[in-house]
Chains A and B, each alone.
Chain A
């Protein structure tokens, strides 16, 4: 069994909605080149995009670290921001703390975390109020 691995990092800037989507675009390209199944690519890209937009909407800044091996893609999004006081509540469909301005831009409908959950094989969120949040997404290539 081979142990080929790849690692990428992308910075995320809080509040810059117009630049959102670049990391998912890059990850999509990479997975296509690796001949990953189309459905897995789709799910990964949706989960990543949602997670990235969460950083842009709520945090000051963040980093997306992507690790790919032949079995899976592991994405870790670390941000410096307000954190999530009640993760369980945040996971509920429709729950949102987004400001009216953010909602006006078409974001913040309260679908983010639940949408991430349906598109990730594994989703782990840890958060410290006043410090920041870490979101870890894992999707497997072969099931």
Chain B
């Protein structure tokens, strides 16, 4: 068991130093300024990262990877449950139906295949009850997206009390599946529940959950990994007509993880749905200032087009949304028969689930505070203002920090030197306060020896001049 501190800073995104070329694209895009460049490599400040995955999207060389469990882990269990989110069924061509996809997951080696959103109808009822019971808190914020929960913890600490303390659909379905299967006489230790994730944040939600001690999920499979395996199975399948059963999901459930999936089904009051992390940040700034009035419920998702835009989704997010909306339209039109592999329909008033869906209060862990001691923080803040005034406000990132302001903060926190600013260097050089060798050494310490090797442009140097 990891200590509380380590748990908080566990991340699914890993930076591979051997691949990183130190280009700073990730540093410039990070919405929580969690990345710096030093010694020619991207460096992650673990306490600031919320696992949104924006860095993963922009890395030109694939140096940022998403950790995943060994697939063979599933065979440690006799009963192997795959929990498939509906966005997975939206990754494939129109010609491939959802039941065909779920059947292929079966063939891959799972004993049971359940759809994550089977817990949605139950959860939606609890959401509506929760909103009624917490009228004094406005707006209530959905806990659905783990990156958003972490964003609020680090950047909007005054809003942690607005987060709805109920688990996600995947947890509901997992708890229910486990209960049903143990009810059938299967030993709890024999049951392994594996969640197929569209993003890094949901991995972290399983590996180091916020608001609960330990997740009910035993392992995580990255969606792009499973996609490759399933695509192969579907391609090799000869008999295309064999479609064993259909999914029992409602249209609402199919679209729950898409933008407006939750907000459109809140019964009372006024709900808003906002996707893409920078949009969310912009809006939460206003919520925090109490400039936003009369909103009861906020659905906030870190990715554009919500989970359809997850970094591990191989398909085009707009096509995925379209496919799922079509699937939802056809939900009521399924032919009769027995649904394939549901854990048994979840009773919308299930007492056991109701007792097990609460989260503990989410605690703030602000990255904003400059010091625990207020007087100390004030001294630092003044120094930051002073330093920031000296800087060019170009936010070029050559210093290895994403903005002039963040360099000022890094200097005050003893994590950088003001001499890392190339403009400051030029001013010092003009005043004979710094020689070329010193400025080159500083640049090398940020961007590595290679990028500033004196001999690297031997043949071209005259042409450049």
Contact = CB atoms under 8 A, between A and B. Distances in A.
A61 interface: no
A2 B382 contact: no
A36 interface: yes
Contact of B375 (A2, A21, A25, A36): A2
Interface string B289-310: 1110100000000000000000
Contact of B379 (A4, A42, A68, A69): A4
Interface stretch (B77-85, B349-357, B362-370): B362-370
B374 A141 contact: yes
Given A29-B368, A32-B157, A33-B369, A42 B290 contact: yes
Interface residues of A, number: 27
Most buried by A among B369, B374, B377: B374
Interface in B251-290: 285-286, 288-290
A94 interface: no
Given A24-B289, A38-B157, A32 B374 contact: no
A35 B377 contact: yes
Given A6-B381, A42-B158, A35 B366 contact: yes
B380 to A, nearest CB: 8
Contacts of A55: none
Interface in B374-409: 374-375, 377-379, 381-382
Contacts of A25: 285, 289
A35 B378 contact: no
A70 B368 contact: no
A74 to B, nearest CB: 14
Nearest to B374: A70
B42 to A, nearest CB: 25
A51 interface: no
Interface in A85-123: 106
Contact of A45 (B288, B373, B381): B288
Contact of A34 (B285, B288, B291, B369): B369
Interface string A20-58: 010011001110111110110110011001000000000
A140 B23 CA distance: 46
A33 B377 contact: yes
Contacts of B370: 33-35
B371 interface: yes
A4 B378 contact: yes
A138 B222 CA distance: 52
A45 B292 CA distance: 13
A126 B377 CA distance: 33
Most buried by B among A24, A33, A69, A70: A33
Given A24-B289, A45-B289, A49-B290, A34 B157 contact: no
B372 interface: yes
B291 A21 contact: yes
Given A4-B379, A41-B158, A34 B374 contact: yes
Contact of A49 (B158, B160, B289, B369): B289
B372 A6 contact: no
A32 B289 CA distance: 12
B381 A34 contact: yes
A2 B289 CA distance: 30
A106 B384 CA distance: 37
Interface of B: 157-158, 160, 285-286, 288-291, 293, 364, 366, 368-375, 377-379, 381-382
Given A35-B366, A49-B291, 8 more contacts: A21-B289, A32-B366, A33-B381, A38-B160, A39-B158, A49-B289, A49-B290, A141-B374
